[in-house]
Amino acid sequence: MKKGYSRIIILSIVAILICTSGVFAQTDSNIKVGFAIRTLDSPYYVALGDAIKAGCEELGWEVSVLDANTDSEKEAQNMDALVAQGVDLIFLDSVIPDPAVAAINKAAENNIGVINLDSGVGEGAKDITTIYSNNEQNGRLVGLAYANSIDKNDPIKAILLSGNKGSIAGEQRRTGLFCGIIEARTGLSEADAWIAAKDMEKQLVENGKAENTEANFVIGGQGWGAWTREGGLEAAEDLITANQDLTCVLAENDQMNFGAMIALENAGIENVDILSAADGAKQAYDLIKEGKYFATGENSPVKIAEKGIEIAKAILIDGADMWSYPDITFTEAFAVTIDNVDEHYDFGF
């Protein structure tokens, strides 16, 4: 064989090996992805959208972020638009779980995989996976940290701020809080503490109040704050009037707790501990540093976006089978307290 031909063959083999080894698999300017996001009218969703956009652009991908403005019909139109554009993959943060299924399956029919971010979708969706924080474990870790920080003989007299009735995430977050508190105060196993936590949830549904006597833990009332500061303020005002001896406020997100803190200040009530089952607003982290807020569970839009980009890259560049992923992919759960807030601060929003 002539020397020139040998050299060509060797160089061709080397090129193939380099490409398949992933050396050139860091960027691909021909890849187009879309993000159909439920809203951009909230710091959390803005942070999620920005993180997806930044991660895609870092890889050299073209990315389109389309805002549904919390309208499921607009979301369907956005999904259709992304399919028509011929994107290679779609990220979706759905407005309502069930209506999203048809749009996801239409994308799959066009060989476009969908990764759900932050919120799940209804049954029957042919999606790649759903990525979000572990609501139950975030709540549990916050509950554990709080219960372990106070004397077991001191009663916990709480009020509870919930987002909206029927929210699966809300129920997971609050039962997680109950589980952690009960587990730490009674010595029950995690499995048995979950059973006790679900009993407290049942009491709440039936009576609007709940109690676990063994844990010396009482919830004097539940209010619905619609996930907002204003809603939390209004709900907390009513609950505080009926529970003057409360020792802590439990909430399903940070915004409602910010409202509760205003209500407590207006009522002249001090020395009440503030806990959120999940969120991770930087305002909450600042308050944790000041000792004014005990803890929040980490629900980081940055980490959710990073995990989504990681899976998308594995599929679009490294050749992973898009249908090989589990139905749900969790980010790691954390209770963010004064002991670790600096480590988590940059992942907040």
List, for residues 134-146, the tens digit of each pLDDT value: 999 999 999 999 9
> Residue 349 pLDDT more than 90?
yes
> Residue 18 pLDDT more than 80?
no
> Residue 15 pLDDT more than 90?
no
Question: How many CB atoms sit inside 10 A of residue 297's CB?
Answer: 32
- Mean pLDDT of the chain, nearest integer: 91
| Whole-angstrom distance, CA of residue 304 vs CA of residue 347 | 10
What is the tens place of the pLDDT at every residue in 99-132? Answer: 999 999 999 999 999 999 998 899 999 999 999 9
What is the tens place of the pLDDT at every residue in 165-224? Answer: 888 889 999 999 999 999 999 999 999 999 999 999 999 999 999 999 999 999 999 999
> Residue 20 pLDDT more than 70?
no
User: Which has more confidence, 67 or 12?
Assistant: 67
Cα–Cα separations (whole angstroms), residue 156 to 143, 168, 276: 11, 25, 15
- Give percent of the chain with pLDDT exceeding 70: 92
* Residue 8: per-residue pLDDT: 37
* Residue 120: per-residue pLDDT: 87
Report pTM. Answer: 0.83
Q: State the amino acid at position 134 in one-letter form.
A: N
Long-range contacts of 37-40 (CB under 8 A, 24+ apart): 37/65, 37/66, 37/67, 37/68, 37/91, 37/93, 38/68, 38/70, 38/75, 38/93, 38/94, 38/95, 38/119, 39/67, 39/68, 39/69, 39/70, 39/95, 40/65, 40/67, 40/69
* Residue 29: per-residue pLDDT: 63
Question: How many CB atoms sit inside 10 A of residue 147's CB?
Answer: 20
* Residue 168: per-residue pLDDT: 85
| Whole-angstrom distance, CA of residue 297 vs CA of residue 319 | 34
User: Which has more confidence, 295 or 96?
Assistant: 295
Q: Beta 217-224 vs 210-212: how paired, if at all?
A: antiparallel
> Residue 17 pLDDT more than 60?
no
274 and 301 in contact (C-beta within 8 Å)?
A: no
- Give percent of the chain with pLDDT exceeding 90: 87
What is the tens place of the pLDDT at every residue in 303-328? Answer: 999 999 999 999 999 999 999 999 99
Question: How many CB atoms sit inside 10 A of residue 192's CB?
Answer: 14
Alpha-helix runs per DSSP H in the chain? 3-21, 43-58, 72-85, 100-109, 135-149, 168-186, 190-207, 229-242, 254-267, 282-289, 301-316, 341-344
> Residue 338 pLDDT more than 60?
yes
* Residue 16: per-residue pLDDT: 36
Identify the three-state secondary structure at position 321: coil
What is the tens place of the pLDDT at every residue in 274-303? Answer: 999 999 999 999 999 999 999 999 999 999
| Whole-angstrom distance, CA of residue 287 vs CA of residue 251 | 15
* Residue 193: per-residue pLDDT: 98
* Residue 43: per-residue pLDDT: 87
Cα–Cα separations (whole angstroms), residue 137 to 181, 186, 222, 335: 12, 18, 21, 9
* Residue 322: per-residue pLDDT: 96
| Whole-angstrom distance, CA of residue 130 vs CA of residue 304 | 10
Q: Which 8-state DSSP code applies to residue 247? A: -
